[in-house]
């Protein structure tokens, strides 16, 4: 186990691709850390540099305060699990898991004990004498994880380890990996493009975009206090809805603006974040949206704009309503579970306290909405 630090790390592939740009952060000993970002954002490059599988173009990597930048993966004592596992198909689970111990010259008794322990933890003890080629994808991935953990590495590197499994299995392995990591306390880094994986499993995570670190924090911090519009849309069970308004004006003490030529009512408090050109960028999570049907009175002091129901999808305790406003799509979670007709005209109403505001140019967050952590449980199960 070790603490890990990246200092001003850059990765260039040739002269053209600057895949990782000046990244610095620290991972505490025993932490489960996530690297999250869209495809091509540089996550795998960072992980491979941590592992020693890829050279660092500029900068330094430290394990427990000492530079390992020029060390091999073996010297760093890291273990890695990839999306596509690299098990020996003709070997049994036991032989695969024991392999890293065997090449380190462990005795048979030691090996049996260590393999038995990790196999029980991963619920594969009943498969222990089956060949890898005769196992399902999920079983193979458990064996690959067992093989990575059996020799107690300083750092466990996981690159999209469960991405290709089916939904139910993924949800199960997510929980098991978290439990296992907690009980072993092995410093671990997982690369994923799936915000749900990053959110549910990790202690803290780094969000990346185009090789640039956007934000580091706990899942709750990043969810509730995203640093910019990109993070707010990328992270979370449901993206932040964003409303880009222009032509803000006041009339008889009320404020309004337009979004793709559609009229919107703007609460007074949000006007503080308007730019010099009378534009405003605000957002809210879907649970904060109230869907107001025709004939109902929208609540006062709300951001309001009218559109049409694109589709409504029941998620058990709540209904996910997608509303089309010009070419903008807005999502709402309706806890009242009302019926919606396709193309029904509805008004989206957002209490001013739930609104986030972003700089219209840089898209950095300038004000946080309240209560962004009130995600209904039903929703998690639906994913």
344 contacts 200 by C-beta, under 8 angstroms: no
Asked if residue 19 binds ligand ADP (CB under 6 A), the reply is: yes
Judged by CB under 6 A, the stretch of 43-51, 69-77, 330-338, 340-348 that binds ligand ADP is: 43-51
Instruction: Look at residue 214 and give the partner it binds from ligand ADP, Mg ion, none, a contact being a CB closer than 5 to 8 Å depending on partner kind.
Output: none
Cα(12)–Cα(307) distance, integer angstroms: 46
Write phi, then psi, for 371 (nearest 5 degrees).
65, 25
Beta carbon of residue 338, minimum distance to ligand ADP (angstroms, whole number):
40
Asked if residue 40 binds ligand ADP (CB under 6 A), the reply is: yes
Instruction: Look at residue 13 and give the partner it binds from Mg ion, ligand ADP, none, a contact being a CB closer than 5 to 8 Å depending on partner kind.
Output: ligand ADP
Judged by CB under 5 A, the stretch of 1-9, 41-49, 284-292, 322-330 that binds Mg ion is: 41-49
Q: CB neighbours of 128 closer than 8 A, spacing ≥ 6? A: 92, 93, 94, 115, 119
Asked if residue 43 binds ligand ADP (CB under 6 A), the reply is: yes
Judged by CB under 6 A, the stretch of 32-40, 67-75, 226-234, 329-337 that binds ligand ADP is: 32-40
Give long-range contacts, CB 8 A cutoff, 24+ apart: 369-372.
Answer: 369/283, 369/284, 369/285, 369/288, 371/288, 372/223, 372/224, 372/285, 372/288
Judged by CB under 6 A, the chain residues 314 through 373 that form the site for ligand ADP are none
Q: Is 71 helix (H, G, I), strand (E, B) or coil?
A: coil
Asked if residue 88 binds ligand ADP (CB under 6 A), the reply is: no
Write phi, then psi, for 241 (nearest 5 degrees).
-80, 135
Asked if residue 209 binds ligand ADP (CB under 6 A), the reply is: no
Q: How many residues does the chain have?
A: 383
Nearest to 79 by CA among 101, 59, 57: 101
Beta carbon of residue 14, minimum distance to ligand ADP (angstroms, whole number):
7
Cα(61)–Cα(4) distance, integer angstroms: 7
Asked if residue 300 binds ligand ADP (CB under 6 A), the reply is: no
Asked if residue 42 binds ligand ADP (CB under 6 A), the reply is: yes
Structure tokens at 378: 């039903």
Q: Candidates 5, 9, 37, 230: give the one binding ligand ADP (CB under 6 A).
A: 37
Question: 37 vs 153, which CB is nearer to ligand ADP?
Answer: 37
Cα(42)–Cα(189) distance, integer angstroms: 14
Cα(87)–Cα(121) distance, integer angstroms: 19
DSSP conformational letter for 228 = B
Write phi, then psi, for 72 (nearest 5 degrees).
-80, 165
Nearest to 28 by CA among 205, 290, 158, 291: 205
Q: How many amino acids of this chain bind ligand ADP (CB under 6 A)?
A: 11
DSSP conformational letter for 239 = P
Site string for Mg ion, 44-73 (x = CB under 5 A): x-----------------------------
Judged by CB under 6 A, the stretch of 37-45, 98-106, 141-149, 234-242 that binds ligand ADP is: 37-45
20 contacts 45 by C-beta, under 8 angstroms: yes
Question: 17 vs 374, which CB is nearer to ligand ADP?
Answer: 17
Asked if residue 39 binds ligand ADP (CB under 6 A), the reply is: yes
Asked if residue 85 binds Mg ion (CB under 5 A), the reply is: no
Asked if residue 74 binds ligand ADP (CB under 6 A), the reply is: no
Asked if residue 192 binds Mg ion (CB under 5 A), the reply is: no
Question: 39 vs 74, which CB is nearer to ligand ADP?
Answer: 39
Judged by CB under 5 A, the stretch of 39-47, 78-86, 236-244, 371-379 that binds Mg ion is: 39-47
Structure tokens at 133: 């080629």
Q: How many amino acids of this chain bind Mg ion (CB under 5 A)?
A: 1
Judged by CB under 6 A, the stretch of 39-47, 60-68, 234-242, 347-355 that binds ligand ADP is: 39-47
Cα(40)–Cα(49) distance, integer angstroms: 16
Asked if residue 45 binds ligand ADP (CB under 6 A), the reply is: yes
Residue linked to tokens 């807005």: 330
Residues that bind Mg ion (CB under 5 A): 44
Residues that bind ligand ADP (CB under 6 A): 13, 17, 19, 37, 39-45
């Amino acid at each position: 186990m070790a603490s890990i630090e990246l200092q001003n790390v850059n990765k260039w592939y040739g002269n053209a691709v600057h895949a990782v740009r000046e990244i610095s952060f620290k991972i505490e000993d025993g932490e489960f850390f996530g690297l999250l970002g869209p495809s091509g954002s540089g996550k795998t490059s960072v992980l491979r540099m941590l592992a020693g599988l890829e050279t660092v173009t500029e900068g330094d990597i430290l394990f427990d305060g000492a530079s390992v930048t020029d060390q091999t993966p073996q010297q760093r004592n890291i273990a890695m699990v990839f999306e596509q596992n690299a098990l020996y198909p003709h070997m049994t689970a036991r032989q695969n898991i024991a392999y890293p111990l065997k090449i380190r010259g462990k005795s048979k008794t030691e090996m049996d004990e260590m393999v038995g322990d990790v196999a029980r933890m991963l619920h594969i003890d009943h498969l222990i004498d089956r060949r890898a080629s005769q196992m399902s994808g999920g079983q193979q991935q458990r064996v690959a994880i067992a093989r990575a953990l059996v020799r107690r590495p300083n750092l466990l590197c996981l690159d999209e380890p469960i991405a290709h499994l089916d939904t139910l299995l993924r949800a199960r392995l997510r929980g098991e990996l978290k439990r296992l990591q907690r009980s072993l306390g092995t410093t671990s880094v997982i690369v994923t493009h799936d915000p749900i994986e990053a959110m549910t499993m990790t202690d803290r995570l780094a969000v990346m975009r185009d090789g640039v670190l956007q934000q580091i924090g706990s899942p709750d911090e990043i969810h509730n206090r995203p640093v910019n519009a990109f993070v707010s849309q990328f992270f979370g069970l449901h993206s932040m809805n964003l409303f880009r308004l222009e032509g803000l004006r006041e009339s008889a003490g009320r404020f309004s603006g337009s979004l793709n030529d559609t009229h919107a009512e703007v609460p007074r408090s949000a006007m503080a974040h308007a730019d010099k050109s009378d534009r405003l960028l605000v957002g809210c999570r879907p649970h904060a949206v109230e869907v107001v049907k025709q004939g109902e009175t929208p609540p006062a002091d709300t951001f309001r704009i009218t559109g049409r129901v694109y589709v409504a999808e029941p998620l058990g305790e709540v209904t996910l309503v997608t509303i089309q406003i010009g070419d903008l799509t807005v999502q709402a979670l309706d806890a009242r579970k009302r019926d919606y007709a396709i193309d029904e005209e509805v008004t989206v109403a957002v209490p001013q306290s739930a609104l986030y505001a972003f700089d219209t140019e840089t898209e950095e967050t300038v004000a946080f909405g309240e209560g962004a952590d009130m995600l209904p449980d039903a929703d998690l199960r639906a994913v």
